[in-house]
Chains A and B, each alone.
Chain A
């Protein structure tokens, strides 16, 4: 036993075991080329992101181009870091319908937690897979409604169909949900 220990000490056995693992990978990678590289050359190659990725937040539209947002302020109150400012107003000529006249998001403070998306009752908000939003001026990161809608148009080309529909319980929201109950007559 002691002899074996001496031999191991003298031959740097345990270092060799470690080097074996390192060199095996090296040979597989460089000479045999049967092992794929794990690293990505980032700015040139990009990872494929899952659809559930929580990136920049966007405002969505219906297929006829009207915005989904009804200006209910739920996203503003759900936000843990007060990113969102909504100024809502009545739709002209339709006093029961409301929309967001102005909509601001201060992305410098956003936590990307997704609580606003969860809070939105009409699914007007969504999180995109965009992430490269570094700016030289931080004031550029306070997005207004046009920028947020543009983000939505860019990332969600397929828009939801707008249904003019009046549910007995829900007064005059624009509702675009799938699987809606049939209109009662």
Chain B
């Protein structure tokens, strides 16, 4: 038994119901009483031996047959000790209440709201328990419960807010939305004033609605800003405009069919989404990937990281006002997208990774083109440096803007360049190496001040490191198969299907029914360009996942938005959106 679990059991003999190591990778799991959760969370956070300073994710699973129906799962991560723990608590159906942990981890705020929204579990003591992804007046229930139909409740045409084209328009709407007497109230107020009345300077906070239709919100994000003059007093992000219910959708799809859907999460970097998902399934199935496939996966993931960061750099600079950078980064991005197109036939929604390997092999022509790109890439990066690195407008807009300290960043659960900009060298590729990352030499760049400029510098440096990784991987690229040979899980090669009866049977079974992974749960984190992208899968032995939870970095980062935006100017909100590198498709899922 792991000493950490023993220690936890000894410290809380009554509250900790069970501890165990799960699965082939020995994930640490502790089942606790919900009432004792705050004390246990505080202990795990503060004790120097456990030191779980980061809350990766909170999720809930519905087991309708069980006595205590809902299970709330906390994914904890310790950066100094580099270990993970899964805390579980069961709550009954008639009173689904559990104490909040927002006092321990501030990042729990958004995550608990999401669980409340989608599963209907109340968090006692939560400062702002509202729906987050669905509209606040949504009355159809909680979609991730198993008794909620996957196709949704109510048909679109019955939604009152959608105009129906087959009905005549109601007279109130036809005459215009605002009645005549309410037109131009400002003029009326001015007309009603006596002539000698002096205009009174009003002193009150202004509420400004930013988005959802704003070009700098990178999708559809609405932020309600409370302003004092031009300074932000409070910022409340309003999410969910792009909520498609991917997690519910995945419960009705086989494991293979989910891969194209992961493309649509973070549509700027779909390779890394594919990678994170197939790694989670491979961890669940406990299969190993052939070395050539591992190297190819690493290379394309790093190509995607360069693409993602180039896209980020262009849009961030464009938001701030530098147009040239946008065109130049898209020039390099185009080269890599062409390579993707050659490799897998698509440019954005790639669907390249397969469970147990990859879809197609590198051709010598492709390797040569990739080498040619890598040769010119450092020069192009130098061009961006010329444009931005010391540019005084860029410095004025990014230096000391949206500063977040390392402690706060960890407490909010920030990962990726946002965390590394604050000087914490946490990278999943180094902490829990996967692919070929432990076989090549590279460094984790970190910033100092935790401001927007440092995060910009970290991302630029990451692009250089990615180029370095690709170059080394191309040198080390071994020969061999690109997909593992596990006929029960992976469809056999096409040539064999029509020649070999057994292959034909496997082919038909995999494509009609899907494969059945063993019962169990797994959490697998990967380093996406935005941060730690994790997939949590609960399997009940059926070909479709019982529950699939996506830990998206953009969603967690937006939880820190209020903290980072307070005290800055309205114009800086655009910078802060950009510095997270948010993609709403991933944030709202």
| Chain A interface residues (CB < 8 Å from chain B) | 12, 14-15, 17-18, 20-22, 38, 49-50, 52-54, 72-74, 77-80, 111-115, 118-119, 121-123, 127, 167, 169-170, 173, 175, 177, 179-181
List B residues 494-525 near A (Cβ within 8 Å): 494-495, 497-501, 504, 507-508, 511-512
Q: Is the CB of B498 within 8 A of A38?
A: no
The 5 A-B residue pairs whose C-beta atoms are closest, nearest first, are A113-B260, A80-B257, A54-B345, A169-B501, A14-B390
Decide if the interface of chain B is mainly helix, strand, loop or mixed. Answer: helix
**Residues from chain B with Cβ under 8 Å of A12 in the complex:** 392
Nearest neighbor of B339 in chain A, beta-carbon distance:
A50
- Report how far A21 CA is from B391 CA in the complex, Å: 13
Q: Is the CB of B324 within 8 A of A22?
A: yes
Q: Given A114-B351, A169-B500, A177-B495, are A74 and B346 also a contact pair (CB < 8 Å)?
A: no
Minimum C-beta distance from A72 to chain B (A): 8
**Residues from chain B with Cβ under 8 Å of A20 in the complex:** 386
Q: Is the CB of A17 within 8 A of B390?
A: yes
**Residues from chain A with Cβ under 8 Å of B508 in the complex:** 72, 74, 121
- Report how far A52 CA is from B334 CA in the complex, Å: 17
**Interchain CB contact (< 8 A) of A77 among B263, B383, B498, B512:** B512
List B residues 25-74 near A (Cβ within 8 Å): none
Q: Is the CB of B345 within 8 A of A115?
A: no
List B residues 388-423 near A (Cβ within 8 Å): 388, 390-392
Count of residues in B whose CB is under 8 Å from the partner chain: 40
- Report how far A45 CA is from B169 CA in the complex, Å: 45
**Residues from chain A with Cβ under 8 Å of B360 in the complex:** 52
Q: Is the CB of A114 within 8 A of B345?
A: yes
Minimum C-beta distance from A145 to chain B (A): 21
Q: Is the CB of A112 within 8 A of B349?
A: yes
Q: Is B253 an interface residue (CB 8 A)?
A: yes
Q: Is the CB of A74 within 8 A of B512?
A: yes
**Interchain CB contact (< 8 A) of B387 among A18, A114, A121:** A18
Q: Is B341 an interface residue (CB 8 A)?
A: yes
**Residues from chain A with Cβ under 8 Å of B257 in the complex:** 78-80, 115
**Residues from chain A with Cβ under 8 Å of B494 in the complex:** 118, 123
Nearest neighbor of A181 in chain B, beta-carbon distance:
B499
Q: Is B430 an interface residue (CB 8 A)?
A: no
Minimum C-beta distance from A48 to chain B (A): 10
- Report how far A18 CA is from B389 CA in the complex, Å: 10
Q: Is the CB of A15 within 8 A of B392?
A: yes
**Residues from chain B with Cβ under 8 Å of A119 in the complex:** 491, 507, 511
**Residues from chain A with Cβ under 8 Å of B371 in the complex:** none
Minimum C-beta distance from B584 to chain A (A): 19
Q: Is the CB of B349 within 8 A of A111?
A: yes
Q: Is the CB of A167 within 8 A of B512?
A: no
**Residues from chain A with Cβ under 8 Å of B342 in the complex:** 50, 52
Q: Given A22-B324, A121-B504, are A15 and B498 also a contact pair (CB < 8 Å)?
A: no
- Report how far A27 CA is from B351 CA in the complex, Å: 41
Q: Given A18-B391, A127-B345, A177-B495, are A115 and B256 also a contact pair (CB < 8 Å)?
A: yes
Q: Is B343 an interface residue (CB 8 A)?
A: yes
- Report how far A49 CA is from B500 CA in the complex, Å: 35
- Report how far A6 CA is from B383 CA in the complex, Å: 24
Q: Is the CB of A18 within 8 A of B334?
A: no
Query: Which of B360, B498, B500, B504 is most buried by chain A, counting CB atoms within 10 A of its CB?
Result: B498
Q: Is the CB of B349 within 8 A of A113?
A: yes
**Residues from chain B with Cβ under 8 Å of A52 in the complex:** 341-345, 360
Q: Given A38-B334, A114-B345, are A78 and B391 also a contact pair (CB < 8 Å)?
A: no
**Residues from chain B with Cβ under 8 Å of A14 in the complex:** 390-392
**Residues from chain B with Cβ under 8 Å of A22 in the complex:** 324, 387
Q: Given A14-B391, A18-B391, A181-B499, are A38 and B331 also a contact pair (CB < 8 Å)?
A: yes
Minimum C-beta distance from B179 to chain A (A): 37
**Residues from chain A with Cβ under 8 Å of B387 in the complex:** 18, 21-22
- Report how far A23 CA is from B437 CA in the complex, Å: 40
Q: Is B86 an interface residue (CB 8 A)?
A: no
**Residues from chain A with Cβ under 8 Å of B234 in the complex:** none
**Residues from chain B with Cβ under 8 Å of A74 in the complex:** 507-508, 511-512
Minimum C-beta distance from B357 to chain A (A): 13
Q: Is B130 an interface residue (CB 8 A)?
A: no
Q: Given A14-B391, A21-B386, A115-B260, are A80 and B253 also a contact pair (CB < 8 Å)?
A: yes
Q: Given A15-B392, A21-B383, are A54 and B512 also a contact pair (CB < 8 Å)?
A: no
List B residues 354-401 near A (Cβ within 8 Å): 360, 383, 386-388, 390-392
**Interchain CB contact (< 8 A) of B386 among A17, A112, A167, A170:** A17
- Report how far A84 CA is from B481 CA in the complex, Å: 32
